[in-house]
Amino acid sequence: MRTFFSPGTSLGTLDAASAATLIAAASDVTLILNADGTICDMAFRNEELFADLVDSASWMGRSLVSTVATDSRAKVTVLLREATTNAESRWRHINHLASDGRSVPVLYCGVQVGQDGRIVLFGRDLRAMSQLQQRLMNAQQSLERDYSRMREVETRYRLLFQLSSEAVLIVDPAKGRVVEANPAACSLFGATAEEIIGQALPSIFDGEGLTNVQAHLSAVRGGSQEEAVSAQLGRGKTGVDVKQVRVRASLFRQENLTFFLVRLSAVPSDSVAPLPDVKTKLLKAVESAPDGFVVTDDTGNILTANAAFLEMAQLPSENAAVGEPLDRWIGQSGVDLDVLVSNLRQRGTVRFFSTILRAEDGGTVQVEISGVSVRNGGSHTSFGYAVRNVGPRVQSPVRTTKQIPRSVEQLTELIGRVALKDLVREATEVIERLSIEAALELTGDNRASAAEMLGLSRQSLYVKLRRYGLGDLATADES
């Protein structure tokens, strides 16, 4: 340790108070010990540290060893021995106990002063560093958990990719080459994965099929939800005879790169004859319709859905909907869909069934559903649903003073076609509107008196007047 060159000259004559002030300012906590390690005086520059230490006010006259945690007592013994033997004293990490039982870390260094063997311990508060280390450790553990979870997810999807019975290719859009192929694709091509990987698309598909596939990939890259296209695998390029396949692609991102996931399904030679052109146009019209259209089996699981429904439900592709129950998105609970299906089974058709559609992003949309029951032969039944977004129409203030509220008979006719909550809401609105009209009539269109009669504030009454289109709204705004 290098000391001052001339302390007598540079420091001058320091009295005890000045020396104590200097020593206390040199560290966060300063302890003065007798030769036997008993605390005879102490100073805290940090009041928060003083309050955090358990029984710190009663340390006077106690051994330093009794104030520290069990795991730090050996360090205290070494620290005092180094201070009393004039050996080079090193900084030691000592843990005190807080009032709530946790450890309070303090970094100590000791030096012996005077002729009576007294020791001065200088301590630095390490709580901020300890908290920083704890946050760093928590962040590292969180990263480890996320990394482990990502590896588990990758393992699961890798297993699904390998075990899938559907032929799947991963294609690099920039180069147009296959970067990965699953065993089902190898079986379809009659080749090994090493022979398929690196192949360009023109070497896989022939003739018009290649043009269809390239147009399909371009449309998918542009964000369109395209239906599958037909193509042919060529002889001599994949090592197999010509095969007719259906090709459907979708985009996915991996490590900031975009790839095509191309699914191929072989078309059996004895497949059903194609639909007439008129029916094909009808199917395309349904797929492109602005209203959603969904077909389910008799258990309510989705068989197919058009692009409009996928957009309303915020689904990335039809695959995310197929096989899922329709009540996952339709209705506030399973009751709405149960009522709808029950009516379809009894009547065959349902019109203008009011409910909500819950999107994947958490939003809700007011919709009207018209449904039809279709028997496929035998005892199998399918249900088709046309889903129309009526949110803007429901929310727009289109009511006028001439509009007549629904009667009880009109509301009764909606039972079975409209969910109970919507019937209750409609009945409540009818009663509320009639009450406001009666109050305005009794008070001679005096809004202040009408609001008092109805137990409403004037502002609440004006909101309801605008909602139902009652009275002179301009007058209400002026008042």
* pLDDT score at 405: 44
How far apart are alpha carbons 353 and 459 in whole angstroms? 34
Beta strands in 66-205 (DSSP E): 92-97, 103-113, 118-125, 167-172, 177-181
> Does residue 42 surpass a pLDDT of 90?
no
Average pLDDT of the residues of the chain: 80
Question: Does residue 325 surpass a pLDDT of 70?
Answer: yes
Q: In degrees to the nearest 10, what's the CA dihedral of 450, 452, 457, 462?
A: 0
Inter-residue contact 93 to 107 (CB < 8 Å)? yes
Q: Quick one: which of 85, 133, 72 has its CA closest to 111?
A: 85
Average pLDDT over residues 15-31: 78
Tell me what percent of the residues of the chain surpass a pLDDT of 90.
Answer: 5
- The predicted pLDDT at position 402 comes to 37
Q: Taking 50 as the threshold, does the pLDDT of residue 238 lie above it?
A: no
Mean pLDDT of 65-77: 87
| Predicted pLDDT at 472 | 64
Identify the pLDDT of residue 403.
43
35-44, 150-159, 219-228, 433-442: least confident range: 219-228
442-to-39, 275, 430 alpha-carbon distances in Å: 88, 67, 18
The values of phi and psi at residue 87, to 5°, are: -75, 165
- Nearest by Cα to 262 from 217, 211, 224: 217
**pLDDT at residue 152 in the model:** 86
Q: What are the pLDDT digits (tens) for 249-302? A: 888 887 778 888 888 887 765 544 556 667 777 888 888 888 999 999 888 899
Cβ count near 201 (within 10 Å): 19
What's the rounded mean pLDDT across residues 31-56? 82
Paired sense of beta strands 302-305 and 349-358, if any: unpaired
**Is 440 buried (19+), middle (13-18) or exposed (0-12) by CB count in 10 A?**
buried
Check whether 240 has a pLDDT greater than 60.
Answer: no
Phi, psi of 172 (to 5 degrees): -80, 115
- Which pLDDT belongs to residue 294? 93
